[in-house]
Amino acid sequence: MFDFADRVKNLPPYGLARTEPLKEEARRKGLDLIDLTIGSPDLRPPKAVIDALKEALEDPKTSYHRYSPFKGLPEFREAVATWYKRRFDVTLDPEKEILPVVGSKEGLEKIALALLNKGDVALVPSPAYPAYLGAVHLVEGAPYEMPLLPQNDFLPDLDAIPPEIARRARYLLFNYPNNPTGASEASFYEKALAFCAKHDVLCVSDIAYSELALDPGVTGRSIFQLPGAKEIAIEFQSFSKTYSMAGWRVGFVAGRADVIDALMRIKTNCDFSVWPAIQRAAARILTGPQECVEFYREKYRERRDAALAGLERLGWWALRPKAGMYVWIRVPSTYGSSTEFVRDVLMGTGVAMTPGIGFGRYGEGYVRIALVEEKARIEEAFQRVAEWAGVAR
Ligand SMILES: *Cc1c(COP(=O)(O)O)cnc(C)c1O
């Protein structure tokens, strides 16, 4: 009988998949589920991108139906370069410094494949987007979880990384504005670049939420706004959250040319890039008017405010997220674990949240809600929880 590879046998369950059986159980019990677990935007993509996809489908040229070039369509890479220039005043070479990915998740996995030999260290924040850890496990690398703690404003403390770990590290990964904590980067980019230069480590920035600022004065930043960053950094961006296009599977990675080339060489063996019709539509939305994003920001802002009001009434602590689409909530001290807490709330109310442990070791003690239901539904979720917790008026 054949056996599975060690990397599969030892693969921990994906962080966001943990609540699936619980949700199933709640449905079987006939509960009206309010699912705030996965950050899968419920809002429709902008009309412009749907129109652009329809146009690509009707275009008599067959090129939008053939295999994509391995490097992606030139029009896509040029649109990304235009976006970086406009948005961050950053100049990138669309030939050598930009590559489409089948969602950032795909690209993050290829980074691990490109940089880690068995046992090599990747520095990943904890809690974090679960694919960061998953990618390292898949190549049998050694993840080092950098704790994101409230006393450090949920920023990694790079000085606390043991020298032995820094010496074995191949890349440092971070994401601001942050999922799941909602923290912003402050001056972390400068520190991260200095650390990476000192230890000869690739700097990997994920800016999936750079366009979803919720408070005035908050502006997403690109790592490439710092001098010298292109020599040592790459950056991921996605259409999933900015334009509510998670199912389309399209994003891009930009930066250091030899890393982009290595990713492309890996990908030639794995896929044929993103469907060209989607690349064309994505290029259009990226270079078109951005008012559509304000609509999403407004939605997430009102949902966040509804959630924060509900939390205040419950007396549960949460960081006020200045950007993004999540609220990171501290589990009340009467509970032992985030998983137990999530189960009790779900079975008692039908409201599903993700236990913090699903985002890494240092996520324990917290739960995350994703603001992927309308405001009225979020209010209802908190009303039910308030009744369950016995604080309803
Ligand atoms: C949602 C998310 C992404 C986007 O992933 P895609 O694969 O592009 O859909 C990337 N990073 C973080 C931190 C996310 O939360």
Q: Which atom of ligand 1 is nearest to the CA of 246?
A: 9
Task: Confirm or reject: Cβ of 104 under 6 Å from ligand 1.
Answer: yes
Task: List the CATH code of the domain at 6-45+292-388.
Answer: 3.90.1150.10
Nearest to 243 by CA among 252, 253, 254: 252
Q: Could you give the strand order of the β-sheet that contains 142-147, starting from the edge strand earlier in sequence?
A: 98-101, 251-255, 233-238, 202-206, 169-175, 121-126, 142-147
With tokens 């950032």, the residue in question is 104
Task: Confirm or reject: Cβ of 126 under 6 Å from ligand 1.
Answer: no
Residues 183 and 173: their CA atoms lie apart, in Å, by: 15
Task: Confirm or reject: Cβ of 199 under 6 Å from ligand 1.
Answer: no
**What are the sequence ranges of the domains in the chain?**
6-45+292-388, 64-287
Q: For the segment 334-362, what is each residue's pLDDT rounded down to a tens digit?
A: 888 999 999 999 999 999 999 999 999 99
Task: Confirm or reject: Cβ of 105 under 6 Å from ligand 1.
Answer: yes
Residues 320 and 338: their CA atoms lie apart, in Å, by: 20
* Omega cis (within 30) before 289: no
CA of 268 to the centre of ligand 1 (A): 22
Task: Confirm or reject: Cβ of 107 under 6 Å from ligand 1.
Answer: no
In a mutational test of the pocket of ligand 1, which residue from 14, 102, 104 has the highest number of ligand atoms less than 8 Å from its CB? 104
Q: What is the pLDDT of residue 241?
A: 98
Residues 204 and 156: their CA atoms lie apart, in Å, by: 14
CA of 60 to the centre of ligand 1 (A): 33
Q: Do the Cβ atoms of 383 and 309 come closer than 8 Å?
A: no
Q: What is the pLDDT of residue 321?
A: 96
Task: Confirm or reject: Cβ of 179 under 6 Å from ligand 1.
Answer: yes
CA of 207 to the centre of ligand 1 (A): 9
Q: What is the pLDDT of residue 17?
A: 81
Task: Confirm or reject: Cβ of 181 under 6 Å from ligand 1.
Answer: no
In a mutational test of the pocket of ligand 1, which residue from 37, 102, 108, 179 has the highest number of ligand atoms less than 8 Å from its CB? 179
Task: Confirm or reject: Cβ of 243 under 6 Å from ligand 1.
Answer: no
Q: Which atom of ligand 1 is nearest to the CA of 250?
A: 8
Task: Confirm or reject: Cβ of 240 under 6 Å from ligand 1.
Answer: yes
What's 318's DSSP letter? B
Q: Write out the two tokens for 24.
A: 């199933």
What's 12's DSSP letter? P
Task: Confirm or reject: Cβ of 251 under 6 Å from ligand 1.
Answer: yes
Q: For the segment 154-182, what is each residue's pLDDT rounded down to a tens digit?
A: 999 999 999 999 999 999 999 999 999 99
- Which residues in the chain come in under a pLDDT of 50? none
CA of 209 to the centre of ligand 1 (A): 9
Residues 294 and 286: their CA atoms lie apart, in Å, by: 14
What's 91's DSSP letter? -
Task: Confirm or reject: Cβ of 230 under 6 Å from ligand 1.
Answer: no
Task: Confirm or reject: Cβ of 125 under 6 Å from ligand 1.
Answer: no
CATH level 3 topology of 64-287: Aspartate Aminotransferase; domain 2 (3.40.640)
Count helices and strands (H / E) in the chain.
14, 12
Task: Confirm or reject: Cβ of 273 under 6 Å from ligand 1.
Answer: no
In a mutational test of the pocket of ligand 1, which residue from 14, 40, 105 has the highest number of ligand atoms less than 8 Å from its CB? 105
Nearest to 132 by CA among 153, 97, 163, 156: 156
